[in-house]
Structure 1
């Protein structure tokens, strides 16, 4: 499980240029412990659960573990380079909070910067939620404690998912219909075309967001620009095509699209049981409900002599490199 629960994607971020209050470490590392609890420092081999908030040079939030209620959880390895964020994390104890500033040039020395990585620092605003020390514990005992903690976190996420989804419906005053499977949908514009059936190819525009309101992806470039999403050069920003019942497409899409006529617009509220479940996928954490604004552009009956279109990825945004 821990291998699936990795750091959120990271981007170049920086706080104010003043470094007052920060201590210096190797490789240009700066760290400022805001809350300091008594306890042993994190060591290589320990399991940690951290909540993180990431910001841009302009102090705007890029991402946060608080959005889905799932902290970063992993067994800490030795730092890969002087001045990397692990070096800063190993200055902390359970209950500590800190700002860690990693010098980008020190980490990328001898290598070109990744495209779009600006500023002097990567900055991590961190709260250490839990530390399980490896110490002299056997692997079996240590892994048992680690898994028990992870299971408790996942159980809490599972229980909170319907609460969050119902709150989204109430807050946005949606007049939704619930199907037997648990899918919520609202037809916002009724089309006059045919409804798709299994095997039909659908042509669809979509925008994907979380119950927090954060937009993750869209097939419409104007929506990406409007919501200040990173423009993905690999994304053609045009309606996607796939056959209903194609292996690999989430169940909520197959069911929801068959409730729509061609030309219709709808909002699909898809619980994780009809999406990516307890595993999650890419930017989507375990037990995460998905909100789709859908336009069913067209429905095409199958040509028995034509190859079936493959299921497209609904997670086309490029992933930024994980923390080093």
Structure 2
């Protein structure tokens, strides 16, 4: 279903580009409603949930909330500045889909234009999934309606999780072993030597995926290029190092590496209860299972006579670290 939604959104981009009919806004911004549903327009202070796809008019898709399964949820702010992408939202209502074109040069005025952005516009295809009007509601009632909506979405995701894990395992023909905690793993290449213990430093290459196969992070640059990911200049694309059992590491990551010795390549399919559970994080919604293709490059045993160093930061491992 998500692939179909992405396909339809991209088809809408092509159609709208051919047909024109855009309304011009400030700062070189243009917009056009593609599917107009009846209902009250969005107002400042309303809660909205929306999905979007963003691309340049001369390049491929840069980002898609459909692929992450994580729509944007927010209260509509007071709009300031010319060319603000949310300016047209006041003309939208629940169920609407629209295209918004933002002039890249206007958007980056006063700053160097990002080299990866080609063409004249950033093109957003937006679908308004839900609107909860603030109106005259008291804050407790308004927040209660928002929490009820989010709770229902989470419960739907929770109900779908077992099937999504099974589908990922079946689609990738993985012959997994399942631990008592629910971690699924398969050894793709057996290493040698002793298994790591709590306190050992693990040096690891990894590629993290959602259950739809989309990569959300990798330490392997060749993998990023192969999958046509945007190259993150802040990512050094080298094995990460972390102390096994360090506070904050998701349970499935810690448990999985205690099963792998040096040189082992494996796939870990981690249910949400061993990852980000019923809270999710900024990258993913609640009840999101994850898959990791990993390689244990090295296992470093601590020197009992060495002074205790501070735990190093791991800026490139956003997903495995529980917030």
**TM-score, normalised relative to structure 2:** 0.86
> Is 1:312 aligned to residue 311 of structure 2?
no
Contact 1:246 1:310 in 2 (8 A): no
Q: CA deviation at 1:21?
A: 1.8
User: 1:282 deviation in Å?
Assistant: 4.1
Distance in 2 (CA, whole Å) between partners of 1:316 and 1:56 is 26
Q: Where is the helix percentage greater, Structure 1 or Structure 2?
A: 2
CA contact (8 A) 1:205 1:239 kept: yes
The Cα RMSD (Å) is 2.3
User: Matched residues in 2 for 1:52 and 1:232: separation?
Assistant: 21
**Is the 2:278–2:286 Cα contact (8 Å) retained in structure 1?**
yes
Given the alignment of the two structures, is residue 85 of structure 1 paired with residue 85 of structure 2, yes or no? yes
The answer to whether the Cα contact below 8 Å between 1:224 and 1:231 also exists between their aligned partners in 2 is yes
For these two proteins, the number of residue pairs brought into alignment is: 304
Of 298-307 and 258-267, deviating more is 298-307
CA distance in 1, matches of 2:25, 2:232: 36
Structure showing greater relative contact order (alpha-carbon pairs closer than 8 Å, 6 or more residues apart): 1
Q: Residues 48-63 of structure 1: matches in 2 within 5 Å? A: 48-58=48-58, 60-63=60-63
Unaligned runs of at least 5 residues, structure 1:
1-13, 318-324
Aligned partners of 1:196 and 1:258 also within 8 Å: yes
Q: Distance in 2 between matches of 1:135 and 1:105?
A: 37
- SS at the partner of 1:182? coil
> Do the aligned residues in 1 keep the contact of 2:26 with 2:83 (CA within 8 Å)?
yes
The range that moved more, 99-108 or 87-96, is 99-108
Aligned partners of 1:194 and 1:299 also within 8 Å: no
2:221 and 2:109 mapped to 1: Cα distance?
Answer: 35
- Structure 1 residue 313: Cα displacement: 4.3
Normalised to the residue count of structure 1, the TM-score between the two structures is 0.85
Question: Secondary structure of the residue that 1:90 maps to in structure 2?
Answer: helix
CA contact (8 A) 1:99 1:126 kept: yes
* Equivalent runs, 1:256-267 vs 2, <5 Å: 256-267=256-267
- Match status 1:186 vs 2:186: yes
Residue 177 (1) aligns with residue 189 (2): no
Equivalence for 1:23: 23
Which residue in 2 is equivalent to 1:250? 250
TM-fit CA distance, 1:283: 2.8
Distance 1:299 1:315, change over 3 A: closer
Q: In 1, are the aligned partners of 2:62 and 2:230 still within 8 Å (CA)?
A: no
Note the alpha carbon deviations across 1:280-324, whole angstroms, 9 max, x for none. 33433332211111111222221123335546345359xxxxxxx
Moved more, 129-138 or 118-127: 118-127
